[in-house]
Structure 1
Amino acid sequence: MKTGKVFLVGAGPGDIGLITVKGLEAIKQAEVILYDRLANPKLLEFAPADCELIYCGKLPDRHTLRQENINDLLVAKALEDKMVVRLKGGDPGVFGRVGEEAAALADYQIPFEVVPGISSGIAAPLYAGIPVTHREYAESFAVVTAHDKSKDGKPLLHWEGLARGVDTIAFYMGVGNLPFICENLITHGKQANTPVILIQWGTFGRQRTLQGTLADITAKVAEAKFSNPAIILVGEVISLREKISWFEKKPLYGRQIVLARTGESPSQLAKELQEQGADVIEFPKWKKTAVPVDLEKASAYEKILFASPESVGEFFSALVENRVDIRNINADFFGASVKTIKALNERGFCASLAAEMPDSGELLIIGDDSILKNKPEYGDTLVTSKKVVDSQFFPIFKRMLEEAEVNTMVFPSSAAVEPFFEALKECEIDAREFFKSLHVICMGKQTMAAVETAGLKQAEMPEKATKQALIALLAGKPFVAE
C-alpha cells in the first residue's frame, strides 16, 4: 500500500516573509494542509488551488480539533497517498507538540520531515526592538511554557533557577497566569523593578506592546485588557527598546487594511503596504481553471490586447501546448495595464497600453471569462481561463477579521468593487456593519464612482492612483474610528 509524506512545518511568528524557503516550498506542493490559529492564513494562498485546507485552530479555552484528532488526521491523509503539510505557528519544536505528531506518523511508518521555523519568543521581541541576549544585559535566555499539564494550569517550574540563573525569560501564552508568574519570580529572587514587556501578535502589523515591571505589569494588563496571543518577556535587556525599536516606527504601523482583490496573482500593492508596516487582508481569493484554447485564427489579427498579466502567461502556455510558433503571429501587442505591459516585456515583447491602440485593424482580446462581460464595442475575444471566487477561503477571511481590528479599506480599481460586495454577501457579512467604522480609499475617479454607486459616500482618494500616493495618504493622515 502506497503512503504519502508529511511535512511538519514551522510557519514562523506571523510576518509571512519570515517563513523558511523550505517551508514555503512544502506549502506550494501540498495536497492537504492542516493549519493552526497562529500560522498566518496568508501563507495558505501559496498552496495549489485544489489543496484541501483543514483548520486545527486552538484557543486557550477550546480546541477546534484535539491533538489526538490531529494526529489521526495526519495519518489518515498520508495513508491516502497525499502530500500533507502540518503548518504550525513559530517553530514546531518549541511548544508545538511536534514530537507527538512525529511519533504518531512513525507508528505507521509514514515518511515525514520536520521543517524548523523562527520562534515567536525570539522574533516578537526583535520586532519590539529587543534582542533577547546582549553582552551588557543578558548572557542567558530561556523559553518557558506558561501553561502546562498541571492540575490547575499553573506552570510547574524551577522558579529559583529561572529567577536567579537566567537573564532573559520568554513566557509563551501566559497572560492568564501573569500574576502567578510575577509573584514566583519575585519570591525566588528577581527584583520587583525588573522590566517586563508583553508583545501581542508579534511581527504582525497589529503588534501591540505593554511595558512595566514585575511589580506593576499585572495591574497594567488588567487595565488594558491585554490578551493572548502574547509573549511575556522578563529581563533588563528590555531597556534597549527605547533606543533600537524599529518596526513600530514604520509609516503604516497600526494600519489594518482590507484590500479588495481582483486577480489570482500576489498583489504588489499588498506587498508594498506590508513592507511599510501595515497588516493587509486581501479579499476575495480567486482561483482559475483552464479552458481549451483555439489558436487557429490568432495569426489573422493585427492587434492583440491582453486583459491582465495572467492572460499573458496563459496565452503563451497555450501556444506551447498547441505547438504554435509565436513567429506566425504578426499582431502588435497591447496591455490593459502597466502590469500587463511588464508581463509582455518580460517575454521579450515591446507592447503599448490599450489607450494607445489605433482604431484600425482586426482586434483580438485575450483574457479570462470576465472579458465577455466587459467586451468593448468591437473586437473578438479569446478566453484562456475561467476565474471564480475560492469559497474555501470564506471561513478563513471571517477568522482573520475576528482576530484583527481592521481600520482601513482600499479599492484598487473599479473592477474590484462589485465582486467584493458580492463576496461579502456570500460570507454572510453585512456590508453596512462592515464599513461603518472604516477609512475607505479609492484608487482613482472611476473607482470612486463605483464605490459611491455601491452606497459608500465617504470614501477618499490619494492625489494620484499610485502606490506611493496611497502610502503618503495613509501615513500622513492617521485614521481613528468613531
Structure 2
Amino acid sequence: MPKGIVYLVGAGPGNPDLLTVRARQLIESAEVLVYDYLVHPAFTHLLPDDCEQICVGKRKGFHSKKQEEIQEILLAKAAEGKRVVRLKGGDPFLFGRGGEEAMALAEAGIEFEIVPGITSAMGAAAYSGIPLTNRSTNATLVFVTGHENPEKLDTTVDWENLPKKDSTICIYMGVANLDRISERLMAGGFLPETPTACVEWATMGHQRVCRGSLGTIAQESKSFGLKAPAIIIVGETAAMSEDLSWFENKPLQGRKLVVTRSKGQASELSSMLEKTGAEVIGLPLISITGAVKPEVADEIFAEIASYDWLVFSSPNGVRYFFEAFFQKFEDIRSLGFLRIAAVGKSTAKEIKKYFVSTDLIPKEANAESLAEALVETDSLDSAKVLVVAGNLGRDVLIDKLEEARAIVDRFEVYKTEQTDLSENPSAKMFREQGADGILFTSSSGVRSFIDQAKYLQLSPDALRPKTVSIGPITSATMKQIGMPVDIEAKEASLDSLVDAVVKRFGK
C-alpha cells in the first residue's frame, strides 16, 4: 500500500483567484479533499473526477464535524495510503486550528506538509484599500481573535493592553461581540475617533465595507446589517480606505452571477466577469469530453487534404479536432489547401490558437447563417466539406450544404452530457444564496437546468436570478420550455454576453 500524506492547505480569504500555485497543484492531484464551510465551491472544480470530497465546515450554529472527528478523518484517510488535502479558509496556522491537526498527524507518524494561504485580514485590507502598515502612521500590526466573549473571566485576549500607539488591530470572528470589543478597546485607551472598518465577505464579489470610528462602529454595523464572516480593522490606516478602495469601484462589484458552462469552458467567462468585480458561482450543467472514434479519425485524416472546406460549428469542435489531428500529424501543413469556416468569432478565436486563419465567419453565430454564408461563396457544387461537430450538433447545417450539392462528411469529435448536481457544492450554494443572474451559453445547458430542477430549488431567502442568454438559439430553447429570457447578448459571443450583463447589472 502506498504511504499516505496530508497537506494542510490555506485556501486564502475566499476569492478563488487568490489561491496559491502550490495549493492549486495539490488540489488538482488530491485523492481526498477535506474542506471547510467558507471554502469557495470553485475550488472543487479543480479536483480529479474520482476525488472523494468531505465537507467538515463549521459556521455559527452549525458544526458538521467536531475537531476531534476531523482529525480522525485525516488520520484514517492517510492510513489508507491516500493523498489528502485538508483545505482551510485563510491560512491553516492562523485561527484555523491547523496546529492541532498537524500535531495529531505528527503524533501518529503520518507525513504532512503545511501550505500557507493569504490570511483573511490581508485580503480584507487589500480589497478595501487599507494598508495594514504605513510608515507615517503605524509600525505595529496585531492579529487577534474576537470569537471569545469579552465578558469571560478567563479570556486569553488582554483587550485593554493591546498596543495603541502607531498600531493596526485586525480582529477575526468579532462581529457578534463588536459592541463589547469596542468598549474594552476604548477602556484600554483607544480613542473613540480611531478609524475603524468592518469588511464583510472579504475579496468576494459581494464584499461590503462598513466604515466608521471605534466609538460608532458597533451602532453603525447594526444599521449596516453587518454579518459574519467579517474582519474588523482598527487604526489610522483604516481611514485611507475611502481614497484607496479600488475593488468597490468595479462595475459588477456586489453582484453574484452563475456561469453554467461546462467545467473545461467556464474559466474564460468566469475570469471576464470577475475582472468586472462580480462573484461567480461555477455551476457546470453539462460536461464536454472528447469522443473521437479512432477508425473514423483514420478515414477522415487519410483524406484530409482532399477536402475543399473544413467547417467548425463550435470552439469545442476546434479543440478536439486538433487534438486528434496532432496525434496523427506533426505539421499543420498536413491540412492541405482547404478553406476553413467558423460559426462565429469565438470559434475563429479558438482556431487562431493553432496558427490557422479562418476564411469565412458569418455575420450571425448560428448554423443557418453559417450555411447561408457558405452557399453565397458559390463554391459548394461537388465540393467536399468536412463538418466538425459534437453529438448534439444540429442537422440544419449539413442539410443546407447538401442542398447546395456539396459532398458533406460529419466528423463527431466530442460529446455533451448532463452533469450530476445531486451532491454538487455549487448547486448547494446556489440553492442557499441564489444570484443576481444566471448565464446560459447553450441549449444543452438550458435543458440540463430544467431536467435537474429538483437540485436547484431556491430557499425562501435566496435571491431570485434574472436569466441571461448568449444568443437567439439558446433563447429559443429557453422560450420553448417556458423559461423567461430577461437578457440576451447582442451577438453570440462571450464579449457581447459580458457587455449585456454589465449594462443590466453594472453600477
TM-score, with length taken from structure 2: 0.83
Mapped to 2, the partners of 1:305 and 1:224 lie a distance apart of 56
Question: Residue 205 of structure 2 corresponds to which residue in structure 1?
Answer: 205
How far off its partner does 1:314 sit? 3.3
Residue 452 (structure 1) aligned with residue 474 (structure 2): no
How many angstroms does 1:163 deviate by?
5.1
Q: What SS does structure 2 have at the residue aligned with 1:164?
A: coil
Contact kept? 2:205, 2:256, Cα under 8 Å:
yes
The one-letter amino acid paired with 1:103 is M
Which residue in 1 is equivalent to 2:294? 293
Deviation of 1:304 (Å): 4.1
Give the Å deviation of 1:76: 2.2
Partner residue of 1:12? Answer: 12
The CA RMSD measured in Å over matched residues stands at 3.3
Matched residue of 1:95: which SS?
Answer: coil
Quote the residue 2:466 is aligned against: 439
Map of 2:457 onto structure 1: 429
- Contact kept, 8 Å, 1:206 with 1:255, in 2: the verdict is yes
CA distance in 2, matches of 1:112, 1:324: 43
User: Per-residue displacement from partner, 1:213-247 (whole Å, max 9, x unpaired)?
Assistant: 22222222233332101101111211111111110
Check conservation: 1:33, 1:84, Cα contact below 8 A: yes
Q: In structure 2, how many angstroms separate the alpha carbons of the residues matched to 1:469 and 1:372? A: 23
Inter-partner Cα distance in structure 1 for 2:388 and 2:87: 38
Show CA shifts across 1:331-351 (max 9, x none).
655444433333333233334
Map 1:89-168 to 2 at 5 A.
89-148=89-148, 155-162=155-162, 164=164, 167-168=167-168
* Cα contact 2:41–2:425 (8 A) shared by 1: yes
1:391 corresponding residue in structure 2: 420
Which residue of structure 2 aligns with residue 265 of structure 1? Answer: 265
Alignment of 1:332-371 (within 5 A): 332-352=339-359, 353=361, 355=370, 356-357=373-374, 359-360=380-381, 361-371=383-393
Deviations 1:130-149 (A, max 9, x none): 11111222221111111149
AA matched with 1:369: N
Q: Which moved more, 1:28-37 or 1:328-337?
A: 328-337
Letter in 2 for 1:440: T
Quick one: which amino acid aligns to residue 298 of structure 2? E
1:335–1:124: structure 2 CA closer, same or farther, 3 Å change rule? same
Per-residue deviation at 1:420?
2.7
- For the residue of structure 1 that corresponds to 2:133, the secondary structure is coil
Q: Deviations over 1:398-423 (max 9, x none)?
A: 33225645222333344532223323
* 2:410 aligned with 1:407: no
Equivalent-residue separation in structure 1 for 2:398 and 2:153 (angstroms): 66
Residues 136 and 240 of structure 1: is their aligned pair in 2 closer, same or farther, counting only changes over 3 Å? same
Instruction: Call closer, same or farther: CA 1:92–1:149 in 2, change over 3 Å.
Output: farther
TM-score, reference length from structure 1 = 0.87
CA contact (8 A) 2:193 2:214 kept: yes
Aligned residue in 1 for 2:66: 66
The alpha-carbon deviation at position 16 of structure 1 amounts to 1.6
Distance 2:462 2:344 in 1: 29
SS in 2 for 1:73: helix
- Tell me if the contact between 1:34 and 1:55 (Cα under 8 Å) persists in the aligned partners: yes
Per-residue deviation at 1:478?
A: 4.6
> Quick check: 366-375 or 389-398, which moved more?
366-375
Q: Deviations over 1:332-379 (max 9, x none)?
A: 554444333333332333344472545453444444433388884364
Give the distance between the partners of 1:224 and 1:203, measured in 2 at CA. Answer: 18
Q: Deviations over 1:181-212 (max 9, x none)?
A: 11211111111222221111111110011122
Q: What is the rounded CA distance, in whole Å, between the counterparts of 1:30 and 1:312 in structure 2?
A: 30
Q: Secondary structure at the match of 1:401?
A: helix
Give SS of 1:117's match: coil
Pick closer, same or farther for the CA change 1:374–1:17 going to 2, 3 Å: farther
Amino acid at match of 1:251: P
Q: What is the SS of the residue equivalent to 2:298?
A: coil
Alpha carbons of 1:8 and 1:387: their partners in 2 closer, same or farther (altered >3 Å)?
farther
Task: Say which is worse superposed, 447-456 or 10-19, in terms of deviation.
Answer: 447-456
Change (3 A) 1:436 1:8: closer
Helix, strand or coil at the partner of 2:164: helix
Q: 5 Å matches for 1:155-234?
A: 155-162=155-162, 164=164, 167-234=167-234
Q: Is the 8 A contact 1:137 1:237 kept in 2?
A: yes
Consecutive unaligned residues of structure 2, counting only runs of 5 or more, are 362-366, 403-407
Cα displacement string for residues 117-166 of structure 1 (whole angstroms, at most 9, x for unaligned residues): 11110111221111111122222111111114999698531223315356
- Say whether the 8 Å CA contact 2:313–2:388 is kept in structure 1: yes
Task: Indicate if the aligned counterparts of 1:2 and 1:79 stay in contact, CA closer than 8 A.
Answer: no
CA distance in 2, matches of 1:214, 1:176: 15
% identical aligned pairs: 33
TM-superposed CA distance for 1:87, in Å, is 1.4
- The structure having more radius of gyration, on CA atoms, is 2
Do the aligned partners of 1:74 and 1:84 also contact (CA within 8 Å) in 2? yes
